A and B are shown apart, each in its own frame.
Chain A
Amino acid sequence: MKLSSSDDRAFDIRTVTGEDLPAVAALDERISGIAKPDYWQDVFERYGGRRKGRYFLLAEDANKKLLGYIMGEVRAWEFDSPPCGWIFGINVDSEGRQTGVGTALYQAICDGFRKYGVHTVRTTVSHKNELVMSFFRSQGMMASHYIQLETELES
């Protein structure tokens, strides 16, 4: 899918291949500060390629430089939730922010979810991660009737 950013730079959105994995992992490491090679290998094995209802997409510029990525899948009947699209990862390189790259990735994965008849898209985000939360808000996301709960496991 050929697109152009708000600063008129052309970019492309496509499915991640094995060759892209080091650049994707490096972008994540730059942003999160944590290297997770095993995690990225596992994500690629489960979500890479064209698997039914699963998406691992990237945005790259005309020079094949990685600008960002998004991951998600269609999930059904978890806690009685009808099928919905789940986004469980998105990152955009600082150079690509505020230029429409994140929005294009989000729209591309939503287009994929629609093909499966899904009408709702969900994600989970730390309320301390204001950048990502603001991004999802700007896409029209609001708090859902599901709430995430957790506890520390006693040893």
Chain B
Amino acid sequence: MRLQKATRCALYAVLELASDPKRQLSANEIAEKYDISTNHLAKVLRSLGREGLVEAVRGAGGGYRFSGNAKRTTLLDVIRLFETVETVSSGEREPGDDTPEGLALTQVIEEVEAIERATFHSITLDTMMKLVGRHRK
């Protein structure tokens, strides 16, 4: 699975901000670290703000800070804000779907999707930050 650009931006932003909830960072500072477009990130941050995951801090030295619950917010919660997590069974019908071969293929794809969904839904931002920490060592 390849995450869309906006989703990756959002995940980088929430992980960066959640790593120190008291710290304020500008969109520019986050964009620079992850080599992403500031304009694109600014739009993503506004979406995250509407969901209560980040809040904008106004005035000199303003920026964004994390305002969510890192132990309760999963990767899937963030991904769903930016892309549709469609399953093969909920998508458009394709030719051959109703044949035994099509049904068997759907069964295999559903197995992969179930594992993918469970993985994203079981990893919270807090767990993800621990994983990031292991990559820093």
- A contacts, CB < 8 Å to B: 98, 127-128, 130, 133-134, 137-138, 140, 143
Contacts and interface: CB of A to CB of B under 8 A. Distances in A.
Contacts of B123: 134, 137
A98 B121 contact: no
Contacts of B115: 127, 143
Interface string B109-128: 00000110111011110110
Contacts of A134: 74, 122-124, 127
A137 B76 CA distance: 14
Given A127-B114, A127-B115, A138 B130 contact: yes
Interface residues of B, number: 16
A8 to B, nearest CB: 18
Nearest to B123: A137
Interface of B: 71, 74, 114-115, 117-119, 121-124, 126-127, 130-131, 134
Given A133-B118, A134-B127, A143-B115, 5 more contacts: A127-B114, A130-B118, A137-B124, A137-B127, A140-B130
A143 B127 CA distance: 14
* Cβ-closest 3 pairs across A and B: A127-B118, A133-B122, A138-B127
B119 A138 contact: no
Contact of B134 (A128, A130, A137, A140): A140
B74 to A, nearest CB: 7
Contacts, number: 30
B61 to A, nearest CB: 32
A121 to B, nearest CB: 16
Contacts of A128: 118
A124 to B, nearest CB: 13
A143 B124 CA distance: 15
Contacts of A98: 71
Nearest to B76: A130
